[in-house]
Structure 1
Amino acid sequence: MDRTQLVAAVRRGDSEAVTALLEAGAVPDTVADDGLPVLCLAVAAYDTAVAWALVEGGADPDRKLPDGTTPLIRAIEGGSPAVAQAVLGREPRLRLPEAEREQLLALARHWYERGTEDELRGRTGDHGLAGQSRVMDDDYHHVTQLTLGGLTVRGGHGAILTRLEWAFRVLTPVDELVARAVAQREPDHVDWSSARWVLGERRSRETWSALTAYRHSPDPQHRLFVLDVLHWYLLFPSSSRNSYETETAELLVAWATDGEDDPGVLADVLRVLSETDHPKSPDVGLRYAGHPAPHVRAQVPHLLLSRDAPPRPLGAAARAALLVLAGDEDGAVRIEAGRALSAAHDGSSDFGDVLVGLLRDPVAGVRACVAEAVADGPDRSPAVADALVSLLDEDDFGTRLDAAYGLLRRDHPHTGEAIDRVGPLNHPGFEHDHRISACWTWKWEAAQQRSA
């Protein structure tokens, strides 16, 4: 096979074509015009998908290059955790001798401890200011990209070091991982997310104790990081034996009951607690229903709901609190109260009247979010249906779609007209939306009935 095809596919970042060419017999370590294997092209371009396709297809990440480096070393120096992880490959602890593993760890640690910009100055001899930009390293996490003296490097070496340590089964002290995470003070930074992921994998009593001790730290960022890891435990339980679901719920209830001075941290405590099934969650919610911070009050409605299937009826205090929160001065609080009211609706007129009021709220964002909840909700009253009809005149496509979908689910006689008023259903960004699919199905079935 002509090598130029693979080189061209790598250069244009076409990972699907790279995979297809490799499957058709292309050589994974094909050399480009610069004399380096194509994997180095992907590394230099920060093309994670292509790097992954090449390594999965047999490219050698440990191949010695003329300058004494390897593609893996270049990926580590490049500072992109996503690219480094792709090039690292599967089972690196088994593939790499201990001496090479230590070399890679030392390299990542050197870049991290010296700092990306200082290392760039040392390598280029340029003592000017580095150009900096914030870039997404994967779909969810960002990193700073620096350019100086003709070299471009990303500052994700802390995350690379964290991932390498775990891949090589080096149990880094919890204190060190926490320090790396909070150094950037941004939960969507690669250093934070990598430390969270590793601690989420390390489910031992020792790790749990060392991590949760930080809930008493005077630094709010430490406490937020603890909550992020605890939420990770709940989202991705590894097994019933070490899920820590019960321990997490108990800790969160104690945390909220003892009190938390920082409103941002408190809101996060309540948010994560709402993901658990603790019998005291409603009591915690009621405790904070009148909190002065709106982002704290916004977390209360879902704490008042039962997570049982079917859900337990709301108590009198919880009902009263939800109705008050539905009239809150803050729109975000009204939204969450509306969502909870829709989920807990028991057919009572007071709930129905409040939902209708929220569907007619003066703030468009409130109307939109409540419409989304009500569309799938159990309320079948004529008043709610009429409120949905009124939303068909909204400027927002999603709101109109929710209104039509809600009428469709209620088998409303004006469903066809409602779908027409939504506008063209091939709306950009909604290609795989279940509401669009339901509308197409309804129109097709209606046409079949007419032609029968």
Structure 2
Amino acid sequence: MSGRGGDRRLLAAVRAGDGDAVRELLEEGADPDTPGADGLPVLCAAIAAYDVVVADVLVEGGADPDRVLPDGTTPLWRAVDGGSPAVCKAVLGTEPALRLSQDARESLLSLARTWYETGAAEELRRRTGAKGPAEAVRVPDDPDAFHHIQQLSHGGLVVRDGHGGILTALEWQFRIPTSVDELVTRAAVEPDQDHPVWWEVISVLLERRSAVTWSALASHRHHPDPAHRRFLAEYLRCRGVLDHFYLHGEREGDFLNAWAAVETDTGMLVKVLEAYAEYEHPGLEATGLRHAVHPDARVRQRVPALFCPPEDASLTPPARAALLALLDDQDTEVRLLAGRVAVSDDTLLAPAVRALLVLAGSQDAGLRGEATALLASCRDRTPAVADALFALLDADDPLTCLEAAYGLALRDDPRTAEAYERVRHLDVGFADDHRWSKLWDWQWRNGRSVTLQAPSGLRGRERRPPAAR
């Protein structure tokens, strides 16, 4: 490939947001700092477009985030200015504390802090001189759409309001020990829990494992602002999900057990129970039994997860009795979540399957899909379940159809061949998705000649429990 030809193709790939093509062209020798029509390196175009994937590929491929531009800024400065934590972290590069001079670090911190303290809308008005409110739209800030952010437009400029998260990430990278109280406040002032500032604060605190950090965090349990208490519960949930080998998990479990016993605010109790379920703790079952008849369905929805027994253990008779009652709850979500636990228990398998069969016939596509996934993988091999799975091949949700075909293959049902034909054109899931793998395995074992279309990458996500983030 000629240098000029490869660079032109790189420009086109960056404009198209094609990360795979950008990576291939860089591997073939294209210049990662190729200038665009405006004379700026292509990394600036990816930053302006909030293209996290392309920005990440360019930096990994050698693009210089610290290159001084004609206006005196750098691509990294522009990423901080743009307000997207995801883009900023993609552009930040390796070892920024060692790579950047003290003046450069202080300039970036000052920029992020100014946006954060002034407020994105107000700073936009200050910069542009435009009057009136900024136009705001909620958009995903990362390729997986786990975090959402406000994107503001005013006076011809566009910015995202993630500077609190950027400031937090920069401080951590630059070895600045920001106080726990200040970090928690940054998250708590943002009402949207899916905003990336929540995750940036949580991820930093997860790295700070000292007793001093824990003591400062635990004090927010009694903070007068419920947002601080909500943040603490979410932090503890994330700690339980992401850090099963954390040595002091028993301490957090004890803390949540005591909190659940006295919490009177229903919304907060839901958050506490959700976090508590992520810990292996001896008080889980007692807490579940205490709240299994709570008048609010949101609380009852959190109860089944408290009964999940440790590996190689069985449900106790009181837990079975409570789950049996929850399988008949008036709330469909309670029944679904009770079924998720009960379907793994030999004693409760039959009533759990009955409840899930009803839910699989729901008009609610999400509910139907979750029930189908549970039925597909459960140990019930009766004709009633197989017939229900075959009927669900007509569902209008591709993932539900795939789950149904998967369930038939697991059962070596003679209708699996027909299920092949019904789902082989579905472009959902991962190329190595366990459901596709099982169908291919069934095809091989049965000498079938039908060829499934392999998904060309991620076209959908694995179903997750409604409580999961």
Tell whether the structures are fold-level matches, with TM greater than 0.5.
Answer: yes
Q: Which amino acid aligns with 1:329?
A: Q
1:25 and 1:351 map into 2 onto residues whose CA distance is 59
SS, match of residue 120 in structure 1:
helix
1:10 and 1:418 map into 2 onto residues whose CA distance is 43
1:61 and 1:403 map into 2 onto residues whose CA distance is 48
Contact 1:419–1:439 (CA<8 Å) still a contact in 2?
A: no
SS, match of residue 447 in structure 2:
helix
SS, match of residue 152 in structure 1:
strand
2:402 and 2:57 map into 1 onto residues whose CA distance is 39
1:238-282: CA deviation from partner (whole Å, max 9, x where unpaired) = 9x5x5432222111111112x212222212222222221112211
SS, match of residue 343 in structure 2:
helix
Note if 1:363 corresponds to 2:365: no
Note if 1:217 corresponds to 2:228: no
Counterpart of 2:291 (choices 288, 291, 309) is 288
Q: Which amino acid aligns with 2:437?
A: S
Q: Which amino acid aligns with 2:119?
A: G
Farther-moved stretch of structure 1 (44-53 vs 99-108): 44-53
SS, match of residue 62 in structure 1:
coil
Q: Which amino acid aligns with 1:419?
A: A
1:399-451: CA deviation from partner (whole Å, max 9, x where unpaired) = 55545543443445x4447736x8233223246442343234324432369xx
1:165 matched residue in structure 2 = 171
2:23 and 2:385 map into 1 onto residues whose CA distance is 52
Q: Which amino acid aligns with 1:355?
A: V
TM-aligned CA distance change 1:416 to 1:122, over 3 Å: closer
Note if 1:14 corresponds to 2:18: yes
1:297 and 1:112 map into 2 onto residues whose CA distance is 39
SS, match of residue 264 in structure 1:
helix
2:183 matched residue in structure 1 = 177
Deviation at 1:116, TM superposition (A): 1.2
Please list every run of 5 or more consecutive structure 2 residues that lacks an aligned counterpart in the other structure.
450-469
2:237 and 2:308 map into 1 onto residues whose CA distance is 19
Deviation at 1:340, TM superposition (A): 1.2
Contact 1:391–1:399 (CA<8 Å) still a contact in 2?
A: no
2:264 matched residue in structure 1 = 261
1:304 matched residue in structure 2 = 307
Note if 1:107 corresponds to 2:105: no
Q: Give the 5 Å matches for 1:25-424.
A: 25-138=29-142, 139=144, 140-237=146-243, 243-257=247-261, 259-308=262-311, 310-312=312-314, 314-344=315-345, 346=346, 348=347, 351-361=349-359, 363-365=362-364, 368-380=369-381, 382=382, 385-394=383-392, 395-396=394-395, 398-399=399-400, 401-412=402-413, 414-416=414-416, 419=419, 423-424=422-423
Q: Which amino acid aligns with 2:270?
A: A
Deviation at 1:4, TM superposition (A): 2.8
Q: TM-score, normalised by structure 1?
A: 0.89
SS, match of residue 203 in structure 2:
helix
SS, match of residue 290 in structure 1:
coil
TM-aligned CA distance change 1:116 to 1:439, over 3 Å: same
2:456 matched residue in structure 1 = none
Farther-moved stretch of structure 1 (81-90 vs 47-56): 47-56
1:296-330: CA deviation from partner (whole Å, max 9, x where unpaired) = 1111112122122x123x22211111111110000
SS, match of residue 133 in structure 1:
strand
TM-aligned CA distance change 1:243 to 1:237, over 3 Å: farther
TM-aligned CA distance change 1:54 to 1:330, over 3 Å: same
Contact 1:392–1:399 (CA<8 Å) still a contact in 2?
A: no
Q: Which amino acid aligns with 2:313?
A: P
Q: Which amino acid aligns with 1:189?
A: H
1:282 and 1:351 map into 2 onto residues whose CA distance is 20
Deviation at 1:12, TM superposition (A): 2.4
1:192-214: CA deviation from partner (whole Å, max 9, x where unpaired) = 12111111111111111111211
Q: Percent identity, please.
A: 47
Q: Which amino acid aligns with 1:389?
A: D
Structure (1 or 2) with the larger CA radius of gyration: 1
TM-aligned CA distance change 1:132 to 1:392, over 3 Å: same
Deviation at 1:155, TM superposition (A): 1.2
1:416 and 1:100 map into 2 onto residues whose CA distance is 62
- Cα RMSD over matched residues? 2.4
Q: Which amino acid aligns with 1:151?
A: L
TM-aligned CA distance change 1:63 to 1:219, over 3 Å: same
Question: Where in structure 1 do 4 or more consecutive aligned residues deviate above 6 Å?
Answer: none
1:248 and 1:170 map into 2 onto residues whose CA distance is 26
Farther-moved stretch of structure 1 (328-337 vs 242-251): 242-251
Contact 1:112–1:158 (CA<8 Å) still a contact in 2?
A: yes
Instruction: Report the count of equivalent residues.
Output: 436
Deviation at 1:85, TM superposition (A): 1.3
Q: Which amino acid aligns with 2:300?
A: R
TM-aligned CA distance change 1:288 to 1:10, over 3 Å: same
Please list every run of 5 or more consecutive structure 1 residues that lacks an aligned counterpart in the other structure.
none
Deviation at 1:351, TM superposition (A): 4.4
1:133 and 1:306 map into 2 onto residues whose CA distance is 43
Deviation at 1:166, TM superposition (A): 0.5
SS, match of residue 186 in structure 1:
coil
TM-aligned CA distance change 1:364 to 1:73, over 3 Å: same
1:435 matched residue in structure 2 = 435
Q: Which amino acid aligns with 1:386?
A: A
SS, match of residue 128 in structure 1:
coil
Q: TM-score, normalised by structure 2?
A: 0.86
1:36 and 1:363 map into 2 onto residues whose CA distance is 54
Deviation at 1:186, TM superposition (A): 1.2
Deviation at 1:237, TM superposition (A): 2.5
1:237 and 1:71 map into 2 onto residues whose CA distance is 34
Farther-moved stretch of structure 1 (154-163 vs 246-255): 246-255
